[in-house]
A and B are shown apart, each in its own frame.
Chain A
Amino acid sequence: MEVNMTYATQDIWTWWIAIYLYFGGLGAATLAVTFLTDMYLKPHRHLVIWGAGAGVVLLALGSMMLFGHLLDKPAVLAVLNPLILFRKPDAWIAWGTQFIIWMMVWGVLYALPYVRETEFPRKVPLIKGLIDRPFVVTIAKLVQRFHRTVGWLAVINGVGVAVYTGLLLQSFPAVALWHNPAVPLLFTVSAFSTAMAFLLLLMYTLINDQADEHIRVLYERIDLVLIAGELVLLFSLYQYLKNGSESAVRSLQLLWNDYGWVIGFIGFGLIVPFLLELKGVTRGWSTRVPILTASVLVLGGGYLLRHYFMYAGVYAYPW
């Protein structure tokens, strides 16, 4: 039908959903990476505690963003019930909520034996009273016995959260920028890249141990590959949008005409850290400053990606 079209971006899900997606991906990927490191590379109490802590705290903060914006908060109980997956298996928010809950549960359990061995939690009154209770001691023993099973349950749910953040946006068919298979991939790769950056930041500052050098080197290498992958995904997304529908072309114009996206995200969030880490991996740096800089930039870029994605989705209305 011959009609005039109206093109519009939305103001329904804005920066707070960007934070939800960002913290969700970052927290979940951090937890998954630290647990895998602990299970297969080197048992590492500090890393696991940081991973589980980041997973729980970031996911809680991110979820509060969504919860705080619900119109009717008590109705959220329906989605917190695991049986929702039988009633609404097609809704990604239902899966995402369950992934988040179970990632937290298995994450805390996996970290429990380590927490009991650590000095700091014993200084926190509430935790101190809890971790020496007989039932907690029994659970910790059980977790130690089924160490890998619990670890994998946390990792699977963590990866589920990271992938979900992209699948959620992909499920909105009217917006070409979101409704394409590059989005879950891009968000997953970005989640793991920001997790690597976060862990490198930690391992060069708060848990800086020379004996962990091989872990740092591995993380740097993985991050390098992830950033390269992200650049390839962005390039293919660009090509897809360039010759796509009007919704796609307009999203492309919004993004690639914006300095925050081009210079902020692609330049400083991807290309600069890629070059810094490339030199670190190939020739090495004499100081830790460049890798710390790269990590901070990757973390900032991860948020910018999600922020701009939310604001640049274009709806095409036929009126």
Chain B
Amino acid sequence: MTHFAMVIDLNTCVGCNACMAACAMENQSPVWDARKWRTYVHDKEIGLGSDVNRRFFPRLCNHCDNPPCMTVCPTGATQKKANGIVFVDQDLCMGCRACAMACPYHARVAITHADIREGREFYGSDYHRTSASMDKCSFCDHRVEEGRKPACVETCVGSARMFGDLDDPNDPVAQIVASGAARPLMPHIGTRPNVYYIDDIKWRG
């Protein structure tokens, strides 16, 4: 069985936002609204006085194994594939936004009719979206099915994003996760996330 996961190394993310741009173009995100990108790199200053560092923190859907967004979804639009990828069927989604309320990782964005109109102009005849719905990262499942990596992973200049199969013991991602060097966000909520982060703080200073 395949169990896709991502590891993000906060030590090597330089905050270039190339992943955001690659994702937006690959998935035709509403780039005109900064709140509606599927992945986002937070830029924060941490520390005191002269001992201040910038931290870049990429976030995206965690493709949880116990996804509350899927539980609350009344239409069945939010589904999980056998390979672990959580996706939204845009034709089934009625846009109640319960999934956005349920997601602890701020991973859901609303695509409105106005966004679709704008999208048709911005992306032209290639624009694939037909109905308004909630949207989120899909781990680029259309690429993954072809054996390619998600767009954000492929474009990452610092190799901060790694993508792999947790069920393959030879996969570097599985090995990093098994080593305990990378940890998921807020596992106590019970979501069983599949995006893991390698901490940067302890290597600083």
User: How many residues on chain A are close to B (CB under 8 Å)?
Assistant: 37
Contact of A88 among B68, B76, B104 (CB under 8 A): B76
B173 at the interface (CB under 8 A from A): no
What A residues does B73 contact at CB under 8 A?
Answer: 88, 91
A309 at the interface (CB under 8 A from B): no
Q: CB-defined interface of A53-90 with B at 8 Å, one 1/0 digit per residue?
A: 00000000000001001111101101100001001101
A289 at the interface (CB under 8 A from B): no
Give complex CA distance A10, B101 in Å: 8
Given contacts A12-B100, A318-B185, A2 and B72 within 8 Å (CB-CB): no
CB atoms of A78 and B94 under 8 A apart: yes
The interface stretch among B14-22, B106-114, B162-170 is B106-114
What A residues does B140 contact at CB under 8 A?
Answer: none
Min distance, Cβ A95 to any Cβ of chain B, angstroms? 9
Q: List 24 A-B contacts (CB under 8 A).
A: A1-B197, A1-B199, A2-B199, A12-B97, A69-B96, A71-B111, A72-B132, A73-B94, A78-B75, A78-B94, A79-B94, A88-B74, A93-B72, A93-B96, A97-B74, A168-B98, A171-B72, A172-B72, A172-B102, A173-B191, A174-B102, A174-B103, A174-B189, A315-B106
Give complex CA distance A319, B44 in Å: 8
Given known contacts A3-B201, A75-B77, A76-B94, what 18 new A-B pairs fall within 8 Å (CB)? A1-B199, A2-B199, A2-B201, A12-B97, A70-B95, A72-B94, A72-B133, A75-B91, A88-B75, A88-B76, A90-B71, A91-B72, A92-B72, A97-B74, A172-B102, A174-B68, A317-B106, A318-B186
Min distance, Cβ B112 to any Cβ of chain A, angstroms? 6
Min distance, Cβ A154 to any Cβ of chain B, angstroms? 23
Contact of B55 among A4, A12, A84, A168 (CB under 8 A): A4
Give complex CA distance A2, B104 in Å: 18
Given contacts A1-B183, A10-B101, A174-B189, A72 and B95 within 8 Å (CB-CB): yes
Give how many A-B residue pairs fall within 8 Å (CB-CB): 117
A112 at the interface (CB under 8 A from B): no
CB atoms of B74 and A91 under 8 A apart: yes
Residues of A within 8 A of B (CB): 1-4, 8, 10, 12-13, 66, 69-73, 75-76, 78-79, 84, 87-88, 90-94, 97, 168, 171-174, 315-319
CB atoms of A93 and B185 under 8 A apart: no
CB atoms of B92 and A75 under 8 A apart: yes
CB atoms of B68 and A171 under 8 A apart: yes
Min distance, Cβ B181 to any Cβ of chain A, angstroms? 11
What B residues does A84 contact at CB under 8 A?
Answer: 74-76
What are the nearest 10 A-B pairs in CB distance?
A71-B95, A174-B104, A75-B94, A93-B74, A71-B132, A319-B57, A94-B74, A91-B74, A2-B201, A319-B42
B46 at the interface (CB under 8 A from A): yes
Give complex CA distance A172, B133 in Å: 20
Give complex CA distance A87, B77 in Å: 11
User: How many residues on chain B are close to A (CB under 8 Å)?
Assistant: 47
Contact of B76 among A12, A87, A319 (CB under 8 A): A87
B158 at the interface (CB under 8 A from A): no
Given contacts A88-B76, A172-B72, A71 and B92 within 8 Å (CB-CB): no
CB atoms of A75 and B93 under 8 A apart: yes
CB atoms of A319 and B72 under 8 A apart: no
Question: Which of A4, A13, A90, A92 gathers the greatest number of chain B CB atoms within 10 Å?
Answer: A4
What A residues does B101 contact at CB under 8 A?
Answer: 10, 12-13, 172
Given contacts A12-B97, A71-B111, A79 and B68 within 8 Å (CB-CB): no
Give complex CA distance A72, B94 in Å: 5
Give complex CA distance A12, B105 in Å: 14
Given contacts A2-B199, A71-B133, A171-B68, A93 and B98 within 8 Å (CB-CB): yes
Min distance, Cβ B88 to any Cβ of chain A, angstroms? 11
Give complex CA distance A3, B77 in Å: 33
CB atoms of A173 and B68 under 8 A apart: yes
- Nearest A residue to B199 via CB reads A1
Give complex CA distance A91, B92 in Å: 15
- Nearest A residue to B110 via CB reads A71
In B191-205, the 8 Å CB interface with A consists of 191, 197, 199, 201-202
Question: Which of A3, A13, A73 gathers the greatest number of chain B CB atoms within 10 Å?
Answer: A3
Min distance, Cβ B101 to any Cβ of chain A, angstroms? 5
B159 at the interface (CB under 8 A from A): no
What A residues does B201 contact at CB under 8 A?
Answer: 2-3
- Nearest A residue to B135 via CB reads A71
Give complex CA distance A124, B22 in Å: 62
Give complex CA distance A94, B71 in Å: 11
- Nearest A residue to B77 via CB reads A75
Give complex CA distance A118, B45 in Å: 71
What A residues does B186 contact at CB under 8 A?
Answer: 316, 318
